[in-house]
Amino acid sequence: MSKPQTLSKTLATQFATRADQADKQGKLPPEDIAALKSSGYLALNISKQYGGLNASFRDCIEAQLELAQGSSSTALVAAMQPPSGDTALEIIGQHAMEKWEGDSQ
């Protein structure tokens, strides 16, 4: 099992304990959001250079499928979020800026 799958399985187990109640209330548990952020799950596909796990597209899809086993609602929200911390655009922008500054010296 890959690291992203292991992480998603752990999170899915946590989310499953709250999923039924969350669905009945129509609200996403704040604990789920906090866990997604603190675990680094939202940065699965970000390069290790920028603090992510550098997971492949396939690993990310498999992780999402595993996460949905615990809570399909939380998995859907996770899929729609930008990476935690810096957004991909900020990371790319910062990388481009560093490259540009390095070229001008």
Instruction: Give one word for 100, left, alpha or beta, with left for phi > 0 and alpha for psi -120 to 50.
Output: alpha
User: What tens digit of pLDDT does each residue of 82-96 get?
Assistant: 654 445 555 555 655
Given this model, what pLDDT does residue 50 score? 75
- Domain of 88, CATH number, reads 1.10.540.10
User: What tens digit of pLDDT does each residue of 26-74 get?
Assistant: 999 999 999 998 998 988 888 888 788 888 889 999 999 999 999 999 9
Considering only CA atoms, which of 19, 15, 55, 52 is closest in space to residue 34? 15
Structural domain boundaries, residue 20 = 3-103
Total domain count, the chain: 1
